[in-house]
């Protein structure tokens, strides 16, 4: 029998997660949504002790023995299993789901290494991991971010035009280019000890083989933020464009090997950096599921208040149309959540989860979009107004169908794995 019981430490953490989501996040959802570029300082102050404790638990070993904060279990690769199970990733997934139930935009504002941290974990050296992650153990909030998308390069990373040229005299990389739609880019670059992992090409003629990732730390000259986006949803989170104009970074800030078309590059360059998504896509799925649960629970409560409660003992043909919708909402929610737990379980056990990560991200994005729209539909005019958070959840939901690889891109990845096709054979 499959056992879905969490360890006691995870259950205790979940109680704290729920408390933070209910008392420190949900009450501020509407005001932060309506004031998109207002910095949620009060929220950061309230949640920082909780976040710091969480990262001390997750990354504490980094400060003690120099290993990466997740014991190498979050990069989607297959290291040797350890006798004692590392539950930190499951704890992270459950935390994200609960925080997003509270408010997805605020969750994205939590001081954390975020996607940039996932990239460092995936392909960084032990020294880079120790340097980056140990900063999260001190007393000040800080943020990480990742910059991939460009004005002319979205899902097709081979079209990337941001360049990194090595200045052999100074032994520094010089970055030039523009990145867009960077979540928490402003927080990462304007706060001390923040950083952004930037994808750039060291050889445009080499295509994907020439793409590498670089750690750009806050305060680097030549890095500017020309624009903050005004968004449909997750409005508490800042989303910016970043311009690099002769930005110089240390040689050692490249993640993986600088060599192009070498065996090391194939592992540590573009392919290695893509492992970031094996860890981050279940996180995005968990966030989507948190929003979906918020909408589902609210719809169930509101429908119950007018006497519409699903009787699971009745055959389907005896349910009302509203009951059929509520059951379908619940089914899609649970299916996406089970896929997310499967992808997470593989990471916990140190196994490859490439296909499962794309499956859960695709399904969760699709499910949350449908569930939140159905919630607004069932609630009628009340759901469409700002008297409740239903319309906000619908707006927050859509991004989960877009970022971290669109639904279509993740479907392609799943198809390639199932059919054994390469990128060239199935594009």
Grouping H, G, I as helix, E, B as strand and the rest as coil, residue 169 is coil
pLDDT tens, the chain, 427 aa long: 677 788 888 898 899 899 989 998 999 899 999 998 877 666 667 667 766 666 666 555 444 433 333 333 333 444 444 445 667 789 889 999 999 999 999 999 888 888 898 889 888 889 998 888 888 776 678 899 999 999 988 777 778 999 999 999 999 999 999 999 999 999 999 888 899 999 999 998 888 889 999 999 999 999 999 999 999 999 999 999 999 999 999 999 999 888 876 544 444 556 666 778 898 999 999 999 999 999 999 999 999 999 999 999 999 999 999 999 999 999 999 999 999 999 999 988 889 999 999 999 999 999 999 999 999 999 999 999 999 999 999 999 999 999 988 999 999 999 999 999 988 888 7
Tokens read off for 336: 């996406």
CATH code where residue 333 lies: 1.20.140.10
Structural domain boundaries enclosing 405: 274-419
Residue in the block written with tokens 């949640």: 47
Grouping H, G, I as helix, E, B as strand and the rest as coil, residue 229 is coil
Residue 262 carries which DSSP code? S
| Cα gap 370→104, rounded to integer Å | 17
Q: How far is CA 397 from CA 6, 289, 390, in A?
A: 27, 9, 11
- φ and ψ at residue 22, rounded to 5 degrees: -75, -40
Contact (Cβ atoms closer than 8 angstroms) between residue 155 and residue 409: yes
Q: Is residue 28 part of a domain?
A: no
| Cα gap 421→180, rounded to integer Å | 31
350: left (phi > 0), else alpha (psi -120 to 50), else beta? left
Active site residues: 404
Count of CB atoms situated within 10 Å of the CB of 304: 12
Q: Is residue 380 part of a domain?
A: yes
Residues 6 or more apart whose Cβ sits within 8 Å of residue 310: 319, 323, 326, 327
Q: Is residue 124 part of a domain?
A: no
Per-residue confidence (pLDDT) for residue 123, from 0 to 100: 85
Q: Is residue 350 part of a domain?
A: yes
Q: Is residue 327 part of a domain?
A: yes
Contact (Cβ atoms closer than 8 angstroms) between residue 35 and residue 105: no
The total of structural domains in the chain comes to 1
| Cα gap 30→293, rounded to integer Å | 18
Q: Is residue 312 part of a domain?
A: yes
| Cα gap 200→210, rounded to integer Å | 8
Q: How many Cα atoms sit within 13 Å of 237 on the Cβ side?
A: 26
Can you give the C-alpha Rg of the chain in angstroms? 22
Q: Is residue 148 part of a domain?
A: no
| Cα gap 338→411, rounded to integer Å | 18
Q: Is residue 261 part of a domain?
A: no
Residues in the chain: 427
Tokens read off for 370: 């449908």
């Amino acid at each position: 029998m499959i056992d879905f019981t969490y360890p006691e430490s995870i259950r205790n953490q979940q109680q704290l997660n729920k408390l933070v989501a209910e008392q420190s996040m949900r009450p501020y959802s509407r005001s932060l949504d309506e004031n998109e570029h207002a910095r949620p300082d009060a929220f950061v102050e309230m949640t920082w002790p909780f976040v710091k404790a969480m990262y001390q638990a997750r990354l504490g070993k980094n400060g003690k023995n120099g290993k990466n904060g997740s014991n190498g279990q979050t990069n989607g690769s297959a290291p040797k299993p350890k006798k004692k199970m590392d539950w930190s990733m499951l704890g992270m997934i459950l935390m994200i789901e609960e925080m997003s139930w509270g408010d997805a935009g605020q969750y994205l504002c939590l001081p954390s290494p975020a996607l940039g941290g996932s990239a460092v974990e995936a392909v960084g050296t032990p020294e880079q991991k120790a340097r980056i992650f140990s900063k999260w153990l001190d007393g000040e909030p800080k943020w990480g971010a990742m910059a991939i998308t460009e004005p002319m390069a979205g899902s097709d990373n081979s079209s990337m035009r941001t360049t990194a040229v090595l200045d052999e005299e100074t032994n520094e990389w010089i970055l030039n280019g523009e990145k867009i739609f960077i979540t928490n880019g402003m927080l990462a670059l304007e706060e001390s000890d923040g950083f952004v992992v930037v994808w750039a090409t060291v050889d445009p003629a080499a295509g994907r083989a020439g793409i590498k990732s670089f750690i750009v730390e806050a305060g680097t000259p030549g890095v500017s933020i020309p624009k903050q986006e005004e968004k449909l949803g997750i409005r508490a989170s800042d989303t910016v464009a970043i311009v690099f104009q002769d930005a110089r970074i240390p040689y050692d800030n490249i993640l993986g090997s600088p060599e192009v078309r070498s065996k090391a590059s194939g592992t540590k360059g573009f392919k290695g950096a893509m492992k970031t998504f094996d860890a981050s896509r279940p996180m995005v799925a968990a966030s989507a599921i948190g929003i979906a649960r918020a909408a589902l629970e609210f719809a169930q409560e509101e429908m119950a208040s007018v006497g519409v409660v699903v009787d699971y003992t009745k055959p389907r043909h005896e349910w009302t149309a509203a009951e059929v919708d509520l059951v379908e909402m619940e089914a899609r929610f649970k299916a996406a959540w089970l896929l997310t737990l499967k992808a997470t379980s593989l990471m916990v056990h140190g196994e490859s989860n490439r296909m499962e990560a794309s499956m859960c991200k695709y399904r969760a994005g699709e499910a949350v979009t449908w569930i939140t729209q159905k919630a607004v539909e069932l609630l009628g005019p009340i759901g469409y107004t700002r008297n409740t958070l239903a319309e906000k959840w619908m707006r927050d939901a859509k991004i989960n169908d877009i970022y971290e690889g669109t639904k279509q891109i993740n479907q392609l990845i799943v198809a390639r794995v199932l059919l054994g096709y390469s990128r060239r054979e199935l594009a």
